[in-house]
Amino acid sequence: MKTLQIAGRNVTVHEYNTVIVGAGAAGMNCAVHLVEFMAQRGIAEPYERIAVVTAGRTLGASRMSGSDKQTYYKMGTAPETPDSAVEFAKSLTAAGCCHEDLALIEAIGSLREFYHLVQAGVPFPHDAMGSYIGYKTDHDPYERATSAGPKTSKFMSECLEAQVRRYG
């Protein structure tokens, strides 16, 4: 860290490899994955190379939003309702508002990211056998939707922030 004098004022300069703007669920998820990515490649103290910049941790849409049911949409996990990445991608592109290749990528990665949130501590409901509860949404024959209640995005943001803090 160094200090520069700019227009007669001392300004502290911080240097980082990456600056993430926003401390909501997306920003915290990015920080978690980036620390893990750097650590896997042998980069020492990756948390020292990343900064999360925000006007306030609790002020963003992820922390302040809520509704009767916030839905997290992923590939289906119910044992009695088989699903596939191809079928998931077809649902995403059914209205013509998404490119097929991008929808397939979203489908392929959806469960990995869902289980990443579960591992971070987001309390998605599951049954006694450990299967995550899903429900059907409009125009979708599979049980792809899930919710941790009206504060799903708040839980996501808080759990991911806690994981970032554990990393340093």
Length of the chain (residues): 168
pLDDT for res 115 = 97
> What are 107-164's pLDDT values in tens digits?
999 999 999 999 999 999 999 999 998 888 887 778 999 999 999 999 999 999 999 9
**Torsion region of 54: left, alpha or beta (phi above 0 gives left; psi -120 to 50 gives alpha):** beta
> What are 45-76's pLDDT values in tens digits?
999 999 999 998 888 888 888 776 688 999 99
Burial of 27: CB neighbours in 10 Å, binned 0-12, 13-18, 19+: buried
> Helices (DSSP H) in the chain: which residue ranges?
25-40, 61-64, 85-93, 100-120, 152-167
pLDDT-based confidence at 78, cuts 50/70/90? confident
Whole-Å CA distances, 158 to 36, 79, 107, 138, 164: 18, 30, 25, 29, 10
pTM given for the model = 0.87
Whole-number percent of the chain with pLDDT over 70:
99
pLDDT-based confidence at 166, cuts 50/70/90? very high
pLDDT for res 148 = 94
pLDDT for res 167 = 92
